[in-house]
Amino acid sequence: MEHIMEQKCPSCGAPLRFDPEQGVLLCDSCGNRQAIPAELQIGDVQLDGFDFNVLTDHAADEHADALPVYHCVSCGAEVIVPEARITTTCPYCGNNIVLTDKVTGKLRPDGVIPFGIDQKHLPDAVNDFYRGKALLPRDFFTEHTLGKVTGVYVPFWMFGGKVSGTLRFRGETVSMFRQGDYEITQTHHYQLMRDADVTFRDVPVDASGRIPDKLMDSLEPFDMADAKAFDTRYLAGFTADRFDQAKYDVSDRAKRRMIASAEDAVEATLYDYAGIRRAGGELRAMLTARYLLLPVYLFSIEYGGKSYEFAMNGQTGKVVGELPVGKGVSWQYFLLRAGVVAAAFIAAFFTKYMLGA
């Protein structure tokens, strides 16, 4: 049994691709368009009654079934696809193929945020990103070259969670008043207790071991309002990877983020007190997760004999990556900053001096 689905134009047989701007399957050869039903919305995550223990690891159990070799339905050629890859283009006939065994059963994604930005807008987004970056070498705009761009559906776990528990603090209030010849400082000490019950939804953690976590984290936020129930048609013409990190393996990252946010929210309620110190208590998180494919353009920029890795959020157009730093430029930049600080200091000094005189 072949685990392959073709994405081929029914009129002329040319490959179909998902067109981000029109949100349809498009044939570049004859212009045929196929709408994807709009009712494919992803349901809201059900947050009642879940428990972290319900998370089952389905990374391991389907590994053994993965077929190393597929046969193209159109031309019969043998197609070898990396273990984690869901889609491929037949190198012999150009057919766009989805490897359905990698998206069925326990490996089926719960949803997908389709690409919303076409690759042709990427150079503009990159230029917008550079604008106002003071540290860039002067010749960067004219000298850089955009490397190969890959539109990838990156696997993510979207964690929902409930953080609850009690935190204890010590705090004080300080008041000062005058009584006859005495100035009295009165300090009240308090033991403070806060119960927390905070709900989170859609905290993204990337599920691919091959893409740097930091790069993926900086691509946030993704807007879940555009998330659709999974459908292979959104993948046509793009690269897509399945998860290779189970939700168990990455859930600690989501858990830490949720607990830290909940602690911040609790501490924000203690504004009436000074000298706040933590004095015990603990917050616990219960998690659930959905498996989503999120749209990311990966590309590199060559400059001065070096390659710089970049990524763009394929939904919002946000660009992230490292930038080369020009030596002369950064020197001028810091010199200017130092000059501004010195001027501010001098102004403050003179104001004080004049008031005192």
Comparison of 44 and 78: residue with beta carbon closer to Zn ion: 78
Q: What gap in Å lies between CA 316 and CA 295, rounded to an integer?
A: 10
Interaction between residue 287 and Zn ion (CB under 5 A): no
Interaction between residue 9 and Zn ion (CB under 5 A): yes
Comparison of 91 and 105: residue with beta carbon closer to Zn ion: 91
Q: Using CB under 5 A, pick the residue from 2, 11, 120, 336 that binds Zn ion.
A: 11
Classify residue 331 by its DSSP letter.
H
Interaction between residue 288 and Zn ion (CB under 5 A): no
Q: Using CB under 5 A, pick the residue from 7, 87, 95, 251 that binds Zn ion.
A: 95
Q: What gap in Å lies between CA 96 and CA 16, rounded to an integer?
A: 7
How far apart are CB 70 and Zn ion at their closest, in Å?
Answer: 10
Interaction between residue 96 and Zn ion (CB under 5 A): no
Q: Could you tell me which of 101, 72, 71, 74 has the C-alpha nearest to residue 86?
A: 101
Q: Using CB under 5 A, pick the residue from 6, 32, 276, 333 that binds Zn ion.
A: 32
Q: Residue 3 to residues 68, 96, 199: CA-CA distances in angstroms? A: 11, 14, 40
Interaction between residue 29 and Zn ion (CB under 5 A): yes
Q: What gap in Å lies between CA 312 and CA 143, rounded to an integer?
A: 21
Interaction between residue 80 and Zn ion (CB under 5 A): no
Interaction between residue 93 and Zn ion (CB under 5 A): yes
* H-type alpha helices, the chain: 122-130, 140-143, 213-217, 247-267, 327-356
Interaction between residue 4 and Zn ion (CB under 5 A): no
Stretch that binds Zn ion, among 13-21, 192-200, 277-285, 297-305 (CB under 5 A): 13-21
Interaction between residue 28 and Zn ion (CB under 5 A): no
The 309-328 contact track toward Zn ion, x by CB under 5 A, reads --------------------
Element (H, E) at 35: strand 33-35
How far apart are CB 31 and Zn ion at their closest, in Å?
Answer: 7
Task: Provide φ and ψ at 50, rounded to 5°.
Answer: -90, 165
How far apart are CB 80 and Zn ion at their closest, in Å?
Answer: 13
Q: What gap in Å lies between CA 28 and CA 13, rounded to an integer?
A: 11
How many residues bind Zn ion (CB under 5 A)? The answer is 16
Q: What gap in Å lies between CA 249 and CA 131, rounded to an integer?
A: 38
Token representation of residue 10: 């029914």
Positions touching Zn ion (CB under 5 A) are: 9, 11-12, 14, 27, 29-30, 32, 72, 74-75, 77, 90, 92-93, 95
